[in-house]
Structure 1
Amino acid sequence: MTDPKDRHPLYRGPGQNREDVRGPRPTRGHIESRQDDSRPAKPKEFRIHGLNACLAAFKMRPESIRKLWLLESRIPKLQELLAFCVRNRIGYNVVENEDLEKLSASAHHEGVCLAMLPQLELNLSSWLMTAPTGPCLLLWLDGVGNPHNLGAIMRSAAHFGAAAILLPKSSSLSHSGAATRVAEGAAEHVPLVRLGRTDNAVAQLKSAGFALVSTVVRGGSDVFRSALPARCVMVMGAEQAGVDSDLLAVSGLRVEVPGTGQVESLNVSAAAAVLMAEWRRQNSSA
């Protein structure tokens, strides 16, 4: 049987360099200089996990990778990523499962975790400057706060060709390890756009030819019998509160997903997938 150390020139076996799990050791007597206060803050690293999520990040943004941790069983699958780390002197460690759970803060790490610089969130004005012409679908997540729902919505958005996800200024959602894993690589393909004031955002979107379509649990038009605009902003509300009344008031159309009535409604990520699929069916050239 081949010795694991022979598989890669910089192999670090399980149990080595455990300071990566505990965090950096404090330096005694260190006093921060006040001169540093004027320097721009460095982008804060965050960790993503999940095999497809990490492979997609490596493919799309290899320059953002700062550290790699993996299980020994993942070495054969991640040879290209490991070689990249060696060439670019990026640290990596082979760790035990319990260590990887701590590093990723998840039992669903799928054997790999990356420390990366985050993707920049765009503002609406910047995104609209390069927005595609013709049929275009955007999702406005109003009050949605679960990162797993965000990840599932990103995955569906990438599948059905949504151009971006719009997040209110007050939304706690952003790129995170949990959202990125659930997105299964889609986080690298669907940009998150941070909105400013609601009235300004609505005005900007309408000036760019978009029409707002709000989703409701009941009292809306059957989405399968409604003509969805080619340049469409689909507004999704939180499952309990629904879409904000101000957004409902400026929406040109309210739609619902018809069902049996045996349950009150779909999960927001499931509803988003249905609505995006119907929009794509109606705008098959998108």
Structure 2
Amino acid sequence: MNDPWKNARRPSSRPPRATPLPPREGGTPPPPGRGNDELRLYGWNAVQALFERRPQALRKLYLAEALIPRLQPLLKWCVANRVGYRVVEEGDLNKLAATTHHEGVVADVLRAPMLSLAEWMADLPSDKPVLALWLDGVGNPHNFGAILRSAAHFGVAGLLLPPDSTLALSGAAARVAEGGAEAVPLVRLPALPQAMDELRAGGFGLAATLVEGGDNLFKATLPERLVYVMGAEGEGMDRALAQTCDLQVSIPGSGAVESLNVASATAVLLSHWYAQR
């Protein structure tokens, strides 16, 4: 049997006839998870950002016929680099992405490597303000994606994850991030005391973000090198961790609702730091 990925179709401004995916045993599409080192992306901005920043990470591409003219640069790159792509039906894209929110394009890609704290800090500019986020317990992929989008918009240098965190980029998070996932590196922290010591040695102040009980964010003067420590959805931030931080801040409001969710709160926090710069 011929390998359907051996020869990629040469792109043309004239859309070819859509070709269905080759059948799989049991009639099911490939699973969304492609192994620990691979990720299934979907959505125009997510795939385009991958192509612009890490084209070598692309492994396979599936697209709707209508997107052929718009994806000409990517398709030409696939041909030149012997990366297989297929024009498929809408239903196949729905199965591949496990959602209808794919915007006509799905890609299997290699994950960006997660950095160690030492690697990340070694690459930071020494003469510019730096902002990072420490995500202590965030787990919802849509919140994670929204945080990545805000982080990319405000120039966050990295998302710091505790050593026991299971949080990882998913296709859903990357789509919600609208390309932001490629702009903000993920960093694996060492154990808590060591992580704090290394960050402070690098000139960072750590600000715990509390639903209530912290200093008014809008009256706080924030350091040039700052790490916001964000708590989990629902439970909020661990109080013991908050007390070990250099600052504790809260976002004041009208009181009409109990609080902002973690993604909305992150956008407010980032914008305030950015405005002070």
Whether these two folds match at TM > 0.5 is: yes
Alignment-derived partner of residue 29 in structure 2: 22
Q: Distance in 2 between matches of 1:221 and 1:196?
A: 28
Alignment-derived partner of residue 205 in structure 1: 199
Q: Distance in 2 between matches of 1:18 and 1:229?
A: 57
Identity %: 50
Alignment-derived partner of residue 4 in structure 2: none
| One of 62, 70, 76 as aligned partner of 1:69 | 62
Q: Distance in 1 between matches of 2:38 and 2:223?
A: 39
| One of 79, 82, 86 as aligned partner of 2:75 | 82
Alignment-derived partner of residue 114 in structure 1: 107
Unaligned stretches of 5+ in structure 1?
Answer: 25-41
CA gap 1:9/1:17 in 2 versus in 1, 3 angstroms: farther
Unaligned stretches of 5+ in structure 2?
Answer: 1-9
Instruction: Give 1:131's aligned amino acid.
Output: L
Alignment-derived partner of residue 195 in structure 1: 189
Alignment-derived partner of residue 269 in structure 2: 275
Aligned residues: 262
Q: Deviations over 1:89-143 (max 9, x none)?
A: 2111111112111111222111101111110000111111112223111100111
Is 1:13 matched up with 2:18? yes
Which 4+ runs in 1 deviate beyond 4 A? 8-12
Is the Cα–Cα contact under 8 Å of residues 11 and 72 in structure 2 kept in the other structure? no
Matched residue SS, 1:219: coil
Q: Distance in 2 between matches of 1:12 and 1:62?
A: 26
Is 1:99 matched up with 2:92? yes
Instruction: Give 2:105's aligned amino acid.
Output: V
Instruction: Give 1:209's aligned amino acid.
Output: G
Is the Cα–Cα contact under 8 Å of residues 130 and 156 in structure 2 kept in the other structure? yes
Is the Cα–Cα contact under 8 Å of residues 10 and 86 in structure 1 kept in the other structure? no
Instruction: Give 1:14's aligned amino acid.
Output: T
**TM-score, normalisation: structure 2:** 0.89
CA gap 1:277/1:129 in 2 versus in 1, 3 angstroms: same
Alignment-derived partner of residue 3 in structure 2: none
Structure 1 residue 13, shift from structure 2 partner: 2.2
Q: Deviations over 1:147-188 (max 9, x none)?
A: 111111111111111111111122221121111111111111
Q: Distance in 2 between matches of 1:107 and 1:240?
A: 28
Is the Cα–Cα contact under 8 Å of residues 93 and 105 in structure 2 kept in the other structure? yes
**TM-score, normalisation: structure 1:** 0.86
Is the Cα–Cα contact under 8 Å of residues 15 and 69 in structure 2 kept in the other structure? no
CA gap 1:95/1:205 in 2 versus in 1, 3 angstroms: same
Matched residue SS, 2:46: helix
Structure 1 residue 233, shift from structure 2 partner: 0.6
